[in-house]
Amino acid sequence: MIKGFFDMLTSSLYANEDVKINGKTKIYGIIGDPIEHSLSPLFQSCFLDESGEDAVYVPFLVPQGDIDSAIPGLWALNVQGFNVTVPHKESVLPHVEPDESARVIGAVNTVLRGEAGWEATNTDWIGFSASLEALEADMQSATVLLFGAGGTAKAVVYALSKMNISTLCICNRSQERAETLAAHTRENYSQISCKLIGWDDANVKAVSLESSVVINTTPIGLKSGDIFPFSLPGDGFAVDAAYCPDGNTAFCEAARMSGRESVDGLPMLIAQGAASFAQWHGVDMPDRLAAIRWMEKQIGRSPMSLPGWEKRI
């Protein structure tokens, strides 16, 4: 973990020659495995630069079996806050004091150093809500098909519960985890009709045709060469929690081939990161649209169509 910190701190310094490290510089970061693909250090460093905060934001590679030693290690290193990505969003819970959103969701993505220990929240649901806002998706009484049943999926369900959807169809490779998420949904969001969908093409196609929004929270797409195993026919939107530089994730490609308007996880990433930044530093959220336009230039992506965000200018 220490080696990963100093490697990324060095790369951050080379990337931004204006960064000056001193004895008062605060450390923020993100933990996960894999972590080298993360774009969070790029835009969080931009947020820090714009705000004038004397701080750095770096990634920490924390393998799944090392979470119990990593969290006290981050505290000992005087880290002020960090984001959490796969596979730690649920396993970090025993090490933090969750707020209402993190407690109900059962997963954490934002941790802040408190006086007595780590305090935690979940801004993934804010990021996901912002993605649907950007697309101007009408979620009232919608039927939604959700792939995945982990920590990100729980945050998505939390967001959907606030949008008054009618029916949630959960499809996950592990039936046991799908059943766990379904039970969690029924216990916490009784207004949502929850159904389980088998991990096979016939079931997925039938439900996709009835769903105005399909969502991917699985890790499919994080590895180069991944192919999403299903077609996604029907009208409406497809939203991926995963992202890649060109935006053409495996899930988005499958959605486009089926005629759906799709967006990868970049808007969600920027929006949840802006909310995390506001939590850590006690400031208003950075401008999400400006941040995503800046990010698009950095990674060489064409501007995305985000009418809902553009109307807020």
Catalytic residue list:
89
Question: For 153, which DSSP code?
Answer: H
Q: 50 phi and psi, to 5 degrees?
A: -65, -35
Q: Is the distance from CB of 310 to CB of 289 less than 8 angstroms? A: yes
Q: Specify the length of the chain in residues.
A: 313
Spatial separation of the C-alpha atoms in residues 120 and 113, rounded to whole Å:
9
List, in order, residues 6 or more apart from 222 with CB less than 8 Å away: 34, 37, 86, 242
Burial 85-97 (b: 16+ CB within 10 A, else e): bbbbbbbbbebbe
CA atoms lying within 13 Å on the CB side of residue 68: 1
Measured between alpha carbons, how far is residue 264 from residues 36, 132, 153, 256, 310 in Å?
Answer: 18, 11, 15, 11, 18
Helix, strand, or coil here: 144? strand
Spatial separation of the C-alpha atoms in residues 308 and 313, rounded to whole Å:
10
Amino acid at 182: A
